[in-house]
Chains A and B, each alone.
Chain A
Amino acid sequence: MGWKNKQLSKSLWVFHVSGSPCNNCDIEILDLLTPKYDVERLGIKLVGSVRHADVMLVTGVINRKIAPKIKKLYSQAPKPIFVVSIGTCTPSASVFKQSYNRVDNPEDVIPIDMYVPGCPPKPEAMIEAVAKLIGVLNE
Protein backbone atom coordinates (compact mmCIF):
# COMPACT_ATOMS: atom_id res chain seq x y z
CA MET A 1 0.00 0.00 0.00
CA GLY A 2 2.88 2.36 -0.58
CA TRP A 3 5.92 3.37 1.41
CA LYS A 4 4.03 5.84 3.58
CA ASN A 5 1.77 3.15 4.98
CA LYS A 6 4.69 0.85 5.57
CA GLN A 7 6.23 3.47 7.84
CA LEU A 8 3.00 3.71 9.82
CA SER A 9 3.04 0.01 10.56
CA LYS A 10 6.03 0.34 12.91
CA SER A 11 3.96 2.01 15.60
CA LEU A 12 0.25 2.53 15.18
CA TRP A 13 -1.20 5.25 17.37
CA VAL A 14 -4.87 4.74 18.01
CA PHE A 15 -7.61 7.16 18.93
CA HIS A 16 -10.80 5.88 20.43
CA VAL A 17 -14.18 7.24 19.35
CA SER A 18 -17.33 6.10 21.12
CA GLY A 19 -20.37 6.43 18.88
CA SER A 20 -23.00 5.56 21.50
CA PRO A 21 -21.75 2.16 22.63
CA CYS A 22 -22.70 0.28 25.80
CA ASN A 23 -19.23 1.06 27.15
CA ASN A 24 -18.09 -2.50 26.99
CA CYS A 25 -15.94 -2.37 23.88
CA ASP A 26 -14.40 0.81 25.27
CA ILE A 27 -13.49 -0.93 28.50
CA GLU A 28 -11.97 -3.81 26.55
CA ILE A 29 -9.92 -1.36 24.49
CA LEU A 30 -8.56 0.17 27.69
CA ASP A 31 -7.98 -3.35 28.96
CA LEU A 32 -5.62 -3.91 26.04
CA LEU A 33 -3.28 -1.27 27.44
CA THR A 34 -3.05 -2.76 30.92
CA PRO A 35 -0.47 -5.33 32.02
CA LYS A 36 -2.21 -8.54 30.97
CA TYR A 37 -2.39 -7.71 27.25
CA ASP A 38 -0.11 -4.66 27.08
CA VAL A 39 -0.24 -3.72 23.40
CA GLU A 40 2.25 -0.93 23.96
CA ARG A 41 4.97 -3.53 23.50
CA LEU A 42 3.75 -3.80 19.89
CA GLY A 43 4.11 -0.06 19.39
CA ILE A 44 0.41 0.63 19.77
CA LYS A 45 -0.44 3.64 21.88
CA LEU A 46 -3.70 5.30 22.82
CA VAL A 47 -3.45 9.01 22.08
CA GLY A 48 -5.51 11.90 23.34
CA SER A 49 -6.12 13.71 20.08
CA VAL A 50 -7.25 12.46 16.70
CA ARG A 51 -4.63 14.74 15.14
CA HIS A 52 -1.92 12.37 16.38
CA ALA A 53 -3.67 9.16 15.37
CA ASP A 54 -3.03 6.59 12.65
CA VAL A 55 -6.00 4.42 13.53
CA MET A 56 -9.49 5.38 14.71
CA LEU A 57 -11.33 2.80 16.76
CA VAL A 58 -15.09 3.28 16.47
CA THR A 59 -17.39 1.50 18.91
CA GLY A 60 -21.13 1.27 19.22
CA VAL A 61 -24.14 1.98 17.03
CA ILE A 62 -23.65 5.51 15.74
CA ASN A 63 -26.59 7.67 16.75
CA ARG A 64 -27.95 10.77 15.10
CA LYS A 65 -26.66 13.21 17.67
CA ILE A 66 -23.08 12.04 17.58
CA ALA A 67 -22.82 11.39 13.82
CA PRO A 68 -21.85 14.99 12.87
CA LYS A 69 -19.19 15.04 15.59
CA ILE A 70 -17.67 11.79 14.32
CA LYS A 71 -17.67 13.19 10.78
CA LYS A 72 -15.85 16.24 12.07
CA LEU A 73 -13.30 14.11 13.94
CA TYR A 74 -12.61 12.14 10.78
CA SER A 75 -12.09 15.34 8.82
CA GLN A 76 -9.61 16.56 11.46
CA ALA A 77 -7.56 13.39 11.31
CA PRO A 78 -4.29 13.31 9.35
CA LYS A 79 -4.58 11.08 6.28
CA PRO A 80 -4.03 8.23 5.74
CA ILE A 81 -6.07 7.11 8.72
CA PHE A 82 -7.51 3.64 9.15
CA VAL A 83 -10.89 3.20 10.72
CA VAL A 84 -11.47 -0.02 12.67
CA SER A 85 -14.94 -0.70 14.02
CA ILE A 86 -14.89 -2.62 17.28
CA GLY A 87 -17.93 -4.75 18.12
CA THR A 88 -21.01 -5.95 16.32
CA CYS A 89 -22.96 -2.73 16.87
CA THR A 90 -21.32 -0.47 14.29
CA PRO A 91 -21.80 -2.58 11.15
CA SER A 92 -25.07 -4.38 11.96
CA ALA A 93 -26.67 -2.35 14.78
CA SER A 94 -27.03 -5.62 16.73
CA VAL A 95 -29.97 -5.43 19.17
CA PHE A 96 -30.51 -1.76 18.34
CA LYS A 97 -31.81 -2.48 14.85
CA GLN A 98 -35.22 -1.02 15.71
CA SER A 99 -33.84 2.08 17.41
CA TYR A 100 -35.20 5.41 16.19
CA ASN A 101 -32.03 7.24 17.01
CA ARG A 102 -29.40 5.41 14.97
CA VAL A 103 -28.08 6.39 11.56
CA ASP A 104 -29.20 4.02 8.82
CA ASN A 105 -25.79 3.35 7.39
CA PRO A 106 -22.61 3.95 9.41
CA GLU A 107 -20.60 4.03 6.17
CA ASP A 108 -22.35 7.32 5.35
CA VAL A 109 -20.79 8.84 8.45
CA ILE A 110 -17.32 7.41 8.26
CA PRO A 111 -15.59 5.00 5.84
CA ILE A 112 -14.74 1.84 7.75
CA ASP A 113 -11.69 -0.22 6.71
CA MET A 114 -11.93 -3.11 9.10
CA TYR A 115 -14.54 -4.81 11.26
CA VAL A 116 -13.88 -6.71 14.49
CA PRO A 117 -17.11 -8.54 15.39
CA GLY A 118 -18.09 -9.66 18.87
CA CYS A 119 -20.10 -8.36 21.78
CA PRO A 120 -17.62 -7.32 23.03
CA PRO A 121 -14.75 -8.76 20.97
CA LYS A 122 -12.21 -10.54 23.12
CA PRO A 123 -8.96 -8.61 23.61
CA GLU A 124 -7.18 -11.38 21.72
CA ALA A 125 -9.45 -10.75 18.73
CA MET A 126 -8.61 -7.05 18.79
CA ILE A 127 -4.86 -7.77 18.95
CA GLU A 128 -5.26 -10.16 16.02
CA ALA A 129 -7.10 -7.47 14.06
CA VAL A 130 -4.33 -4.96 14.63
CA ALA A 131 -1.72 -7.57 13.70
CA LYS A 132 -3.61 -8.21 10.45
CA LEU A 133 -3.76 -4.47 9.78
CA ILE A 134 0.00 -4.24 10.25
CA GLY A 135 0.37 -7.19 7.87
CA VAL A 136 -1.68 -5.42 5.20
CA LEU A 137 0.28 -2.19 5.65
CA ASN A 138 3.56 -4.05 5.17
CA GLU A 139 2.50 -5.59 1.85
Chain B
Amino acid sequence: MSGNRIPLGPFHPLLEEAEFFEIKVDGETVVDIDMEIGWMHRGHEYISEMSSFTQSIYLVERICGICSTSHPLACVHAVEDIDNIEIPIRARYIRTLVGELERIHSHLLWLGLAGHFIGYDTVWMWAWKYREPVLQIIEAISGNRNHYGIMRVGGVSKDVDPSNIPKLLEILDTVDKKMDMFAKVVNDDPVLKKRLVGVGVLTKQDAIDYCAVGPTSRASGVRGDVRKDDPSDAYDLVDFNEIVLQNGDVYDKLVLRVLETKESIKICRQCFESLKTAKGSIINNVKEISPGEGIGRYEAPRGEVFHYMRSDGTNRPIRHKVRAPSYVNIPTYKASCIGVSISDALITLAAVDPCYCCTERSLTITDINQRSNSLDILKLSKEKTEKIRREINGK
Protein backbone atom coordinates (compact mmCIF):
# COMPACT_ATOMS: atom_id res chain seq x y z
CA MET B 1 0.00 0.00 0.00
CA SER B 2 1.20 3.51 -0.78
CA GLY B 3 1.67 6.13 1.91
CA ASN B 4 3.75 6.29 5.04
CA ARG B 5 3.51 3.93 7.93
CA ILE B 6 3.65 5.27 11.46
CA PRO B 7 4.44 2.69 14.14
CA LEU B 8 2.84 3.29 17.53
CA GLY B 9 4.13 1.18 20.39
CA PRO B 10 4.61 -1.29 21.98
CA PHE B 11 5.86 1.26 24.52
CA HIS B 12 4.33 4.60 23.65
CA PRO B 13 4.22 7.47 26.13
CA LEU B 14 0.45 7.76 25.89
CA LEU B 15 -0.38 4.08 26.08
CA GLU B 16 -0.16 2.64 29.52
CA GLU B 17 -0.37 -0.92 28.26
CA ALA B 18 1.90 -2.43 25.65
CA GLU B 19 0.23 -2.68 22.28
CA PHE B 20 1.36 -2.08 18.75
CA PHE B 21 -0.44 -0.15 16.03
CA GLU B 22 0.69 0.52 12.55
CA ILE B 23 -1.08 3.52 11.12
CA LYS B 24 -0.83 4.06 7.40
CA VAL B 25 -1.21 7.71 6.44
CA ASP B 26 -1.59 9.66 3.26
CA GLY B 27 -0.48 13.16 4.14
CA GLU B 28 -2.21 13.69 7.45
CA THR B 29 -5.13 11.38 6.86
CA VAL B 30 -5.25 7.86 8.20
CA VAL B 31 -5.92 5.44 5.36
CA ASP B 32 -5.46 2.12 7.09
CA ILE B 33 -4.74 0.74 10.51
CA ASP B 34 -3.25 -2.54 11.60
CA MET B 35 -2.62 -3.79 15.08
CA GLU B 36 -0.74 -6.54 16.79
CA ILE B 37 -1.86 -7.91 20.13
CA GLY B 38 -0.50 -10.60 22.41
CA TRP B 39 2.00 -8.52 24.36
CA MET B 40 0.13 -9.15 27.57
CA HIS B 41 -0.95 -12.74 27.05
CA ARG B 42 -0.67 -14.72 30.27
CA GLY B 43 -2.85 -17.76 29.56
CA HIS B 44 -5.69 -17.29 32.04
CA GLU B 45 -7.94 -19.95 30.57
CA TYR B 46 -5.21 -22.55 30.83
CA ILE B 47 -4.31 -21.66 34.42
CA SER B 48 -7.99 -21.56 35.38
CA GLU B 49 -8.42 -25.16 34.25
CA MET B 50 -5.76 -26.16 36.80
CA SER B 51 -7.32 -24.16 39.66
CA SER B 52 -10.37 -24.82 41.80
CA PHE B 53 -13.56 -22.83 41.27
CA THR B 54 -12.74 -20.46 44.14
CA GLN B 55 -9.19 -19.97 42.91
CA SER B 56 -10.53 -19.19 39.42
CA ILE B 57 -12.40 -16.20 40.83
CA TYR B 58 -9.16 -14.69 42.14
CA LEU B 59 -7.45 -15.51 38.88
CA VAL B 60 -10.03 -13.89 36.59
CA GLU B 61 -9.98 -10.86 38.85
CA ARG B 62 -6.43 -10.38 37.63
CA ILE B 63 -7.37 -10.45 33.95
CA CYS B 64 -7.83 -6.72 34.18
CA GLY B 65 -7.33 -4.37 37.08
CA ILE B 66 -10.09 -1.99 36.04
CA CYS B 67 -12.76 -4.65 35.43
CA SER B 68 -11.87 -6.45 38.63
CA THR B 69 -15.53 -6.94 39.54
CA SER B 70 -16.94 -7.66 36.12
CA HIS B 71 -14.81 -10.71 35.39
CA PRO B 72 -15.30 -12.45 38.77
CA LEU B 73 -19.00 -11.61 38.65
CA ALA B 74 -19.43 -13.14 35.19
CA CYS B 75 -17.34 -16.11 36.37
CA VAL B 76 -19.50 -16.79 39.45
CA HIS B 77 -22.62 -16.35 37.32
CA ALA B 78 -21.29 -19.10 35.06
CA VAL B 79 -20.63 -21.46 37.98
CA GLU B 80 -24.01 -20.66 39.55
CA ASP B 81 -25.64 -21.32 36.19
CA ILE B 82 -24.37 -24.94 36.28
CA ASP B 83 -26.34 -25.75 39.43
CA ASN B 84 -28.92 -22.93 39.48
CA ILE B 85 -27.61 -21.77 42.85
CA GLU B 86 -29.78 -19.25 44.71
CA ILE B 87 -28.12 -16.09 45.97
CA PRO B 88 -29.25 -14.37 49.20
CA ILE B 89 -30.89 -10.99 48.69
CA ARG B 90 -28.24 -9.14 50.69
CA ALA B 91 -25.46 -10.60 48.57
CA ARG B 92 -27.32 -9.56 45.41
CA TYR B 93 -27.41 -5.94 46.54
CA ILE B 94 -23.72 -5.97 47.54
CA ARG B 95 -22.73 -7.42 44.16
CA THR B 96 -24.69 -4.76 42.30
CA LEU B 97 -23.29 -2.04 44.53
CA VAL B 98 -19.66 -3.02 43.99
CA GLY B 99 -20.26 -3.51 40.26
CA GLU B 100 -21.70 0.00 39.91
CA LEU B 101 -18.97 1.59 42.03
CA GLU B 102 -16.51 -0.02 39.66
CA ARG B 103 -18.35 1.46 36.69
CA ILE B 104 -18.16 4.95 38.23
CA HIS B 105 -14.42 4.72 38.84
CA SER B 106 -13.76 3.15 35.45
CA HIS B 107 -15.71 5.84 33.57
CA LEU B 108 -13.99 8.60 35.55
CA LEU B 109 -10.67 6.98 34.77
CA TRP B 110 -11.49 6.98 31.07
CA LEU B 111 -12.68 10.57 31.22
CA GLY B 112 -9.34 11.57 32.69
CA LEU B 113 -7.32 9.60 30.16
CA ALA B 114 -9.39 11.03 27.29
CA GLY B 115 -8.54 14.50 28.55
CA HIS B 116 -4.88 13.49 28.68
CA PHE B 117 -5.01 12.13 25.12
CA ILE B 118 -6.31 15.41 23.70
CA GLY B 119 -3.70 17.33 25.66
CA TYR B 120 -6.19 18.70 28.16
CA ASP B 121 -4.49 17.67 31.38
CA THR B 122 -6.82 19.70 33.59
CA VAL B 123 -9.58 17.22 32.79
CA TRP B 124 -7.21 14.36 33.65
CA MET B 125 -6.26 15.77 37.04
CA TRP B 126 -9.81 16.71 37.99
CA ALA B 127 -11.40 13.45 36.91
CA TRP B 128 -8.85 11.42 38.82
CA LYS B 129 -9.17 13.66 41.85
CA TYR B 130 -12.90 12.98 42.02
CA ARG B 131 -12.31 9.29 41.40
CA GLU B 132 -10.55 8.98 44.75
CA PRO B 133 -13.74 9.20 46.91
CA VAL B 134 -15.14 6.25 44.94
CA LEU B 135 -12.02 4.22 45.68
CA GLN B 136 -12.46 5.25 49.30
CA ILE B 137 -15.96 3.75 49.40
CA ILE B 138 -14.67 0.57 47.78
CA GLU B 139 -11.82 0.41 50.27
CA ALA B 140 -14.28 0.78 53.14
CA ILE B 141 -16.41 -2.07 51.77
CA SER B 142 -13.80 -4.54 50.54
CA GLY B 143 -10.54 -3.54 52.18
CA ASN B 144 -8.62 -2.90 48.98
CA ARG B 145 -8.53 -0.06 46.49
CA ASN B 146 -8.59 -2.21 43.40
CA HIS B 147 -8.74 -6.01 43.45
CA TYR B 148 -11.69 -6.45 45.79
CA GLY B 149 -11.78 -10.24 46.08
CA ILE B 150 -15.27 -10.37 47.55
CA MET B 151 -17.12 -12.48 44.97
CA ARG B 152 -17.87 -16.09 45.88
CA VAL B 153 -19.92 -18.84 44.28
CA GLY B 154 -23.29 -18.43 46.04
CA GLY B 155 -22.79 -14.93 47.43
CA VAL B 156 -20.14 -12.50 48.59
CA SER B 157 -17.49 -12.77 51.30
CA LYS B 158 -17.73 -9.35 52.92
CA ASP B 159 -20.77 -7.58 54.33
CA VAL B 160 -21.55 -3.88 54.37
CA ASP B 161 -22.05 -2.70 57.93
CA PRO B 162 -25.44 -0.84 58.04
CA SER B 163 -24.03 1.64 60.56
CA ASN B 164 -21.44 2.79 57.99
CA ILE B 165 -23.98 3.43 55.25
CA PRO B 166 -24.86 7.08 56.11
CA LYS B 167 -21.17 7.98 55.99
CA LEU B 168 -20.66 6.17 52.67
CA LEU B 169 -23.74 7.91 51.22
CA GLU B 170 -22.21 11.24 52.21
CA ILE B 171 -19.05 10.41 50.23
CA LEU B 172 -21.21 9.33 47.28
CA ASP B 173 -22.98 12.71 47.41
CA THR B 174 -19.69 14.53 46.89
CA VAL B 175 -19.03 12.40 43.78
CA ASP B 176 -22.56 13.13 42.55
CA LYS B 177 -22.06 16.90 42.84
CA LYS B 178 -18.80 16.69 40.93
CA MET B 179 -20.44 14.61 38.21
CA ASP B 180 -23.05 17.36 37.82
CA MET B 181 -20.17 19.75 37.37
CA PHE B 182 -18.62 17.48 34.74
CA ALA B 183 -21.92 17.23 32.88
CA LYS B 184 -22.01 21.03 32.73
CA VAL B 185 -18.37 21.26 31.68
CA VAL B 186 -18.90 18.79 28.85
CA ASN B 187 -21.87 20.84 27.64
CA ASP B 188 -20.14 24.21 27.86
CA ASP B 189 -16.48 23.65 27.18
CA PRO B 190 -15.51 24.91 23.70
CA VAL B 191 -12.19 23.01 23.73
CA LEU B 192 -13.80 19.60 24.24
CA LYS B 193 -16.38 20.33 21.55
CA LYS B 194 -13.80 21.53 19.02
CA ARG B 195 -11.63 18.47 19.56
CA LEU B 196 -14.29 15.79 19.84
CA VAL B 197 -17.49 16.62 17.92
CA GLY B 198 -17.60 14.73 14.64
CA VAL B 199 -14.30 12.92 15.27
CA GLY B 200 -14.01 9.17 14.82
CA VAL B 201 -17.63 8.53 13.91
CA LEU B 202 -18.83 4.95 14.20
CA THR B 203 -22.09 4.76 12.28
CA LYS B 204 -25.03 2.71 13.48
CA GLN B 205 -24.63 0.24 10.63
CA ASP B 206 -20.91 -0.22 11.40
CA ALA B 207 -21.65 -0.74 15.09
CA ILE B 208 -24.09 -3.51 14.14
CA ASP B 209 -21.73 -5.03 11.56
CA TYR B 210 -18.77 -5.16 13.93
CA CYS B 211 -21.01 -6.46 16.81
CA ALA B 212 -19.80 -3.63 19.05
CA VAL B 213 -20.98 -3.80 22.65
CA GLY B 214 -21.36 -1.49 25.61
CA PRO B 215 -20.85 2.28 25.44
CA THR B 216 -19.28 1.94 21.99
CA SER B 217 -22.51 0.64 20.48
CA ARG B 218 -24.86 2.65 22.69
CA ALA B 219 -23.20 5.90 21.57
CA SER B 220 -23.98 4.89 17.97
CA GLY B 221 -27.67 4.38 18.62
CA VAL B 222 -27.67 0.60 19.06
CA ARG B 223 -29.27 -0.34 22.33
CA GLY B 224 -28.08 -3.34 24.31
CA ASP B 225 -27.27 -3.56 27.97
CA VAL B 226 -26.99 -6.87 29.83
CA ARG B 227 -28.24 -5.17 32.97
CA LYS B 228 -31.57 -4.49 31.21
CA ASP B 229 -31.75 -7.44 28.82
CA ASP B 230 -30.75 -10.26 31.17
CA PRO B 231 -30.88 -8.81 34.68
CA SER B 232 -28.89 -10.70 37.26
CA ASP B 233 -28.24 -9.90 40.91
CA ALA B 234 -30.28 -6.88 42.01
CA TYR B 235 -30.63 -5.19 38.63
CA ASP B 236 -34.28 -6.14 38.35
CA LEU B 237 -34.92 -4.61 41.79
CA VAL B 238 -33.42 -1.18 41.12
CA ASP B 239 -34.58 1.59 38.84
CA PHE B 240 -32.23 3.01 36.21
CA ASN B 241 -32.22 4.16 32.59
CA GLU B 242 -30.28 2.80 29.69
CA ILE B 243 -28.54 5.68 27.95
CA VAL B 244 -28.49 5.59 24.15
CA LEU B 245 -27.07 8.40 22.02
CA GLN B 246 -27.17 8.73 18.25
CA ASN B 247 -24.09 10.37 16.70
CA GLY B 248 -21.38 7.79 17.40
CA ASP B 249 -18.53 10.29 17.55
CA VAL B 250 -16.02 10.59 20.40
CA TYR B 251 -17.98 13.45 21.96
CA ASP B 252 -21.09 11.29 22.24
CA LYS B 253 -19.05 8.51 23.85
CA LEU B 254 -17.82 11.02 26.41
CA VAL B 255 -21.32 12.37 27.13
CA LEU B 256 -22.66 8.83 27.35
CA ARG B 257 -20.10 7.87 29.97
CA VAL B 258 -20.82 10.96 32.06
CA LEU B 259 -24.56 10.24 31.93
CA GLU B 260 -24.00 6.56 32.73
CA THR B 261 -22.01 7.52 35.78
CA LYS B 262 -25.01 9.51 36.98
CA GLU B 263 -27.21 6.45 36.51
CA SER B 264 -24.69 4.31 38.41
CA ILE B 265 -24.74 6.71 41.33
CA LYS B 266 -28.53 6.38 41.32
CA ILE B 267 -28.25 2.57 41.48
CA CYS B 268 -25.66 2.77 44.28
CA ARG B 269 -28.01 4.96 46.34
CA GLN B 270 -30.85 2.48 45.94
CA CYS B 271 -28.55 -0.41 46.92
CA PHE B 272 -27.38 1.41 50.03
CA GLU B 273 -30.98 2.16 51.03
CA SER B 274 -31.97 -1.48 50.55
CA LEU B 275 -28.91 -2.73 52.45
CA LYS B 276 -30.05 -0.72 55.47
CA THR B 277 -33.07 -2.99 55.85
CA ALA B 278 -32.35 -6.24 53.95
CA LYS B 279 -31.83 -9.12 56.36
CA GLY B 280 -30.21 -12.52 56.04
CA SER B 281 -26.91 -14.12 55.27
CA ILE B 282 -24.53 -13.00 52.53
CA ILE B 283 -23.51 -16.41 51.19
CA ASN B 284 -25.12 -19.75 50.40
CA ASN B 285 -22.55 -22.40 51.17
CA VAL B 286 -22.00 -24.51 48.07
CA LYS B 287 -20.57 -27.95 48.80
CA GLU B 288 -19.99 -29.22 45.30
CA ILE B 289 -20.61 -28.40 41.66
CA SER B 290 -22.34 -31.07 39.63
CA PRO B 291 -21.23 -31.97 36.08
CA GLY B 292 -22.55 -29.62 33.44
CA GLU B 293 -21.92 -26.33 31.74
CA GLY B 294 -22.93 -22.78 32.41
CA ILE B 295 -22.61 -19.30 31.02
CA GLY B 296 -22.30 -16.03 32.85
CA ARG B 297 -22.74 -12.51 31.57
CA TYR B 298 -22.27 -9.12 33.08
CA GLU B 299 -22.25 -5.59 31.74
CA ALA B 300 -18.69 -4.46 32.41
CA PRO B 301 -17.89 -0.74 32.06
CA ARG B 302 -16.73 -1.49 28.50
CA GLY B 303 -19.57 -3.78 27.45
CA GLU B 304 -20.73 -7.33 27.84
CA VAL B 305 -18.25 -9.74 29.38
CA PHE B 306 -18.96 -13.41 28.84
CA HIS B 307 -17.67 -16.45 30.72
CA TYR B 308 -18.26 -20.11 29.95
CA MET B 309 -17.52 -22.86 32.47
CA ARG B 310 -17.74 -26.62 32.16
CA SER B 311 -17.55 -28.85 35.20
CA ASP B 312 -17.05 -32.61 35.37
CA GLY B 313 -18.11 -32.89 39.01
CA THR B 314 -14.66 -32.31 40.49
CA ASN B 315 -13.63 -29.11 42.22
CA ARG B 316 -12.15 -27.49 39.13
CA PRO B 317 -13.47 -26.46 35.73
CA ILE B 318 -12.41 -28.56 32.77
CA ARG B 319 -13.05 -25.68 30.38
CA HIS B 320 -13.14 -22.00 31.02
CA LYS B 321 -13.70 -19.55 28.20
CA VAL B 322 -13.54 -15.78 28.52
CA ARG B 323 -14.72 -13.19 26.04
CA ALA B 324 -13.99 -9.64 27.05
CA PRO B 325 -15.82 -6.65 25.53
CA SER B 326 -12.69 -5.07 24.04
CA TYR B 327 -12.28 -8.14 21.84
CA VAL B 328 -15.22 -7.04 19.71
CA ASN B 329 -14.81 -3.30 20.22
CA ILE B 330 -11.20 -3.05 19.04
CA PRO B 331 -11.93 -4.11 15.40
CA THR B 332 -14.27 -1.10 15.08
CA TYR B 333 -11.10 0.95 14.57
CA LYS B 334 -11.24 -0.21 10.98
CA ALA B 335 -14.49 1.71 10.62
CA SER B 336 -13.94 4.70 12.89
CA CYS B 337 -10.25 5.54 12.45
CA ILE B 338 -10.04 5.64 8.69
CA GLY B 339 -10.38 9.15 7.33
CA VAL B 340 -9.56 10.99 10.55
CA SER B 341 -6.44 13.11 10.82
CA ILE B 342 -3.38 11.63 12.51
CA SER B 343 -3.74 13.98 15.48
CA ASP B 344 -7.24 12.65 16.12
CA ALA B 345 -6.25 9.02 15.65
CA LEU B 346 -5.13 8.46 19.25
CA ILE B 347 -8.30 9.79 20.85
CA THR B 348 -10.32 7.70 18.39
CA LEU B 349 -8.31 4.63 19.42
CA ALA B 350 -8.94 5.49 23.07
CA ALA B 351 -12.63 6.25 22.59
CA VAL B 352 -13.79 2.64 22.84
CA ASP B 353 -11.99 2.45 26.21
CA PRO B 354 -9.92 -0.50 25.01
CA CYS B 355 -8.57 -2.89 27.59
CA TYR B 356 -5.77 -4.90 26.03
CA CYS B 357 -5.16 -6.97 29.17
CA CYS B 358 -8.68 -8.34 28.87
CA THR B 359 -8.51 -9.20 25.25
CA GLU B 360 -5.06 -10.63 24.73
CA ARG B 361 -4.84 -13.70 22.56
CA SER B 362 -1.72 -15.50 21.58
CA LEU B 363 -0.90 -16.27 18.00
CA THR B 364 1.70 -18.68 16.72
CA ILE B 365 2.80 -18.42 13.14
CA THR B 366 4.34 -21.60 11.75
CA ASP B 367 5.77 -22.19 8.34
CA ILE B 368 3.74 -24.88 6.60
CA ASN B 369 6.64 -25.81 4.33
CA GLN B 370 8.88 -26.48 7.26
CA ARG B 371 8.03 -29.95 8.53
CA SER B 372 10.53 -30.28 11.33
CA ASN B 373 8.01 -29.56 14.06
CA SER B 374 8.91 -32.74 15.94
CA LEU B 375 12.34 -31.24 16.62
CA ASP B 376 10.76 -28.29 18.39
CA ILE B 377 8.68 -30.59 20.56
CA LEU B 378 11.79 -32.57 21.44
CA LYS B 379 13.59 -29.37 22.33
CA LEU B 380 10.69 -28.17 24.49
CA SER B 381 10.53 -31.54 26.20
CA LYS B 382 14.25 -31.43 27.01
CA GLU B 383 13.86 -27.92 28.40
CA LYS B 384 10.98 -29.10 30.57
CA THR B 385 13.05 -32.01 31.93
CA GLU B 386 15.85 -29.60 32.76
CA LYS B 387 13.41 -27.31 34.53
CA ILE B 388 11.99 -30.14 36.65
CA ARG B 389 15.50 -31.30 37.49
CA ARG B 390 16.46 -27.81 38.59
CA GLU B 391 13.37 -27.56 40.78
CA ILE B 392 14.05 -30.93 42.44
CA ASN B 393 17.63 -29.96 43.16
CA GLY B 394 16.27 -26.79 44.69
CA LYS B 395 18.25 -24.41 42.57
Contact = CB atoms under 8 A, between A and B. Distances in A.
Nearest to A48: B13
B63 interface: yes
A2 interface: no
B10 A23 contact: no
B120 interface: no
A25 B145 CA distance: 11
B68 interface: yes
A61 B40 CA distance: 9
A65 B47 CA distance: 18
A81 B147 CA distance: 31
A120 B61 CA distance: 12
A63 B66 contact: no
A30 B116 CA distance: 11
Interface stretch (A4-12, A95-103, A126-134): A95-103
B128 A102 contact: no
B146 interface: yes
Interface string B12-27: 0100111000000000
B129 A101 contact: no
Contact of B11 (A17, A61, A99): A17
Contact of A98 (B38, B47, B112, B387): B47
Give the interface size class of chain B.
Answer: 35 or more
Nearest to A72: B11
Interface string B33-61: 00000111111001100100001001100
A96 B38 contact: no
Contacts, number: 118
A49 B14 CA distance: 11
B62 interface: yes
Given A23-B66, A31-B128, A96-B42, A66 B16 contact: no
B125 interface: yes
- Summarize A's interface: helix, strand, loop or mixed: loop
Contacts of B145: 28, 120, 122
Contacts of A101: 41-43, 362
Interface string A35-70: 110000000000111100000000011010110010
A7 to B, nearest CB: 25
B109 interface: yes
Contacts of A49: 13
Contact of A21 (B11, B40, B47, B112): B40
Contacts of B16: 16, 18, 23, 26-27, 30
A16 B355 CA distance: 17
Given A69-B11, A120-B65, A63 B41 contact: yes
B330 to A, nearest CB: 15
A25 B41 contact: no
A125 to B, nearest CB: 11
Nearest to B127: A34
B13 A27 contact: no
A136 interface: no
B65 A27 contact: yes
B356 to A, nearest CB: 8
Contacts of B175: none
B308 interface: no
Contacts of A99: 42-43, 46-47
Contacts of B125: 34-35
A63 B66 CA distance: 20
Contacts of B50: 98
Given A95-B59, A99-B46, A20 B39 contact: yes
Nearest to B133: A36
A94 interface: yes
A43 B223 CA distance: 47
23 contacts: A20-B41, A21-B40, A23-B17, A23-B64, A23-B65, A34-B128, A36-B128, A36-B129, A60-B40, A61-B42, A63-B40, A65-B41, A66-B18, A66-B39, A69-B39, A94-B62, A96-B43, A98-B50, A99-B46, A101-B42, A104-B387, A119-B147, A122-B145
